[in-house]
Each structure stands twice: as structure tokens, then as C-alpha cells.
Chains A and B, each alone.
Chain A
Amino acid sequence: MRPAFDSARRARPLLGTFVEVTARGASRDRLDAAIERAFAAVAEVHRLMSFHEGGSDVSRLNRCALSGPLAVDPQTFEVLEWSRRFAEASEGCFDITVAAQLVDWRLLPRPVCAYVPDRQGSWRDVELLPDGTVRFRRPIWIDLGGIAKGYAVDRAIDSLRDAGIPWGCVNAGGDLRVLGREAARVQLEPRHGNERCVPVLEVANGSVASSGGGRRRRGAVGSHVHGIARHAVGGHAFVSVVADRCLVADALTKVVLTQGPRSEAVLCRYGARAHVRTARHEWRTIGGTAP
């Protein structure tokens, strides 16, 4: 006889990484159906917000939003609104218009586009109009790579919750969210060598996202671009942010990487906390309060 409650865990290649969905506390059939819907939610975000796919909202904006207001999916608009909030809160350190730098460093492919991006352009040039359309004030390229993955995780968790699944975890290449009161253990940072100890978080009903610590190819040191200075950040430091929503955690990792301890106010504003491993391999906590 099969047990009444089961657990299921599946992974698919999406968002340029592996998206893993775990669900527990329902029959296997219900879990499979819910996981399928969670993957569909992630695939939808991928389809709308990928820089690489020519038909995505992001690619359409990069091609056409300079000529006039362009209608985008409400989900894309929502992520653009969040991006604006984080840009304002971080005084421009978080900026989705850093795509031009990422293209220069060949971390992103050159989009099919009639113009050369204006290096003076910034998040302020992305106009979000009341009717849900978007217009660029200058020739710019946007990339939602610093926030869309977290959003996709949130959407997948929403679909698990809507399906009545009591416990679930969605992990998109290390940006993850846990649904339910039972904690999941999350190791911060992959092991590099033979370290005997690694820090681990226990996360319940919350999210954790990480950035930095990685060397990048082709001379670009660091994994993200400073929104104002436009140089690479995250070459040595490693940041994990814990927050309610994965979108918030994902975006704030970039704010912490660029602002360091000054990001405390932003972290507190969003009820988030950062664990930072410095270049000297010391861990610091910024924002939030100890549980």
C-alpha cells in the first residue's frame, strides 16, 4: 500500500541553471501535478525575462522601447517596478541597465539592436507608464538577470501554495525559498577545497540568495556590475541574503556586494539580513535582528 503522504523532488534545466522543486505532504499524484505547475511558472518567467531569447519582453524592450511605449506582460512590469524600488533604495547601485557592461565582458550576448547603448543611461531612463507600458528615455539595454531568478522562485512557490501543498522548496541554482514551517538546511557557498566546516542556514517560510565569490571568465573579475561605477563587484566577497521573498533576497545580494555595510538601511527596510564572507574569509552579518 502506498503511504497517504509522499514527497517528490524534481529538477529541470531552466533559467540557465538547474531549478529544483521539492514538495511534501500530499499524494504523489497531487505533488507531481503541483511540481509541474511550479516548473511551468518558472518557464514562463524565463520566456518573458530572458536576455538571451529574442522573443522575451526584455529583448523586445531592448529593441523597441526607445521608439515608443511598449506593452509587456504584467509579470515583467512587476519585476521592473521592483527593480526601480531597489535602484532608488540603493541610490543606483542596483541598476538593470548594466547590461551593456555585461555584453562588453561577453557575459551576455550582443542583442540585435539598431543602436549603441548610451553609457550615461541608467535606471532613471526606464519609464514605467501608468497604463503598464514601458519606454526608454535613452538608448539603453536592460538585463533582469539580477532579480528575475528570485521572482521565478517566488512564482513557483506561489503555485505550490495555490495547489495546497503544505511544504515545498524551490531552488534555482542556489536562490531558493522554503514554503512551510519545517526548516530546510542551506549550505552557504560551495566548498572550494577540503574545508572541514561550512556555514549552514536553516530556513523556514523564507528565502536565501547568494552572489559573488566567483571568478569570471574573460578578465571580468566579479559577478555583477556596480550600478554607478560600472565596474565588476563580487570578485572576492561572498554574500547571502535571507528575506521573505526570493526576489528581495536575490536583488539585495547585489546591493550588499556594492554597498557593503552601508546597505544595512536597505536590508532593514525589507526585513532582510545579509551574511557576508569577506576577502579575508571572515563572516559578518549586516541588517536584521538575531533570532
Chain B
Amino acid sequence: MDWVRLAAPAAVVLVTAPAAYANRYLTVEEAQRLAFPEATQFVEAHIVFRPADVAAIERLSGQRVRTRGQQVWKAMGAGRLLGFFVVDYVIGKHAVIDYSVALELDGRVKAVEVLEYREAYGSEITSHSWLHQFDGKTSRDPVTIDKDVRNISGATLSSQHVTEGVKRILAFYETCLR
């Protein structure tokens, strides 16, 4: 193992507090291609919920429906319907998570991918003037963390909200797509 540099107490590298934690992983198109590599076309539809749909989804999933509809793509290949691709978001304890669910024709989950994860707090320090105060510092001084520091060890990020979201998407499939 070779740790290039260690920045903690003694040698420390106190790094200035980072901007709000935000990670963009995949675009909708990239996630679609990964989920359905054989698809030649994705046909977009926006399904608007009727009150009965909302009631059914809530009953089936045990989750509140907070949107008026759901964005969904039909994955098409060789003139056949291959499956469905749904983009959704959930609001976690501290974060907003955009994610996608690819569904087989029979409603089985093919893949769940996080598209974007952004922390809901900490935006105050992203301001330019706050970061500006560290201009001209040497390497012995705190260095600003930019997009480089993407990993946080010790943050307890729960994926519970996404799991609940997927349940709601499955209920949406049963109610509106099946």
C-alpha cells in the first residue's frame, strides 16, 4: 500500500470546507443506454395521474405520491417493446437524489442507477466570495477542496428513500404501465 500523503492531525492537511456535496453520475441518455444496450429508440411519455391512480399507487406501495405524473420512456428495439425506463427523484434526510429505474416488460427491476446526488445543505459556502478568501495560500495552508474531493468517509448516507421510491415506481408500473 502506498498512501501518497496523509492529511490528518500532525501533518494535517486541513482543507477548507468543501462546497455542498453534489455528484452527477449519469445523464438520462447514458443510463438508458446502459440499461437497454439493445434498444434503438426510447419513446418518451409523460403519464398524468388520475386520482384513482394516485390512490392505487399509494395503496400498493405504502408511499405518498407527491407528483402529478411520472416521466417514462418505452425502450424499443427491432420494432418491439423491450421494457420501461423511469426517471424519478426522492428527497432524503439531507439530499435530493435523482435516480432511474429500468423495468423489464413483466415489471421486474432491471437496474437502479443514481443519476445525481446533491446535498441539501451547505450551499452557503459555495458562494464565490467565501471561497475567494483562500486565494494566494501556499501548500502549507489549507487548500480549497474543489470537485476533487468527492469522497467523504464517515458520512452515513442512507439509501432508504431510494428503496421506498423504487417501491412506488413498481406500484406505478402495476397501476399505469402493465
Contact = CB atoms under 8 A, between A and B. Distances in A.
A60 B9 CA distance: 44
A11 B8 contact: no
Contacts of B78: none
Given A11-B114, A199-B7, A200-B7, A188 B25 contact: no
A77 to B, nearest CB: 26
A291 B17 contact: no
Q: For this complex, into which size category does the number of interface residues on chain B fall?
A: 35 or more
A173 B156 contact: yes
**Main SS of the interface on chain B?**
loop
Interface stretch (A62-70, A118-126, A155-163, A179-187): A179-187
B17 A197 contact: yes
B4 A197 contact: no
Interface string A252-277: 00000000000000000001000100
Contact of B149 (A11, A169, A187, A212): A187
Contacts, number: 178
A204 B4 contact: yes
A181 B6 CA distance: 14
Nearest to B115: A11
B160 interface: yes
A199 B152 contact: no
Nearest to A191: B17
A110 interface: no
Given A16-B158, A187-B152, A283-B12, A202 B7 contact: yes
Contact of B151 (A13, A36, A187, A213): A187
Contacts of B62: none
Interface string A211-224: 11110000000000
29 contacts: A10-B114, A11-B113, A16-B159, A17-B159, A18-B157, A18-B159, A36-B34, A169-B151, A183-B5, A185-B15, A185-B151, A187-B15, A187-B18, A187-B151, A195-B17, A198-B14, A201-B3, A202-B6, A202-B7, A204-B2, A206-B3, A240-B8, A243-B1, A271-B1, A275-B9, A282-B9, A283-B8, A290-B10, A291-B6
Given A171-B151, A176-B153, 4 more contacts: A20-B23, A190-B152, A240-B8, A282-B9
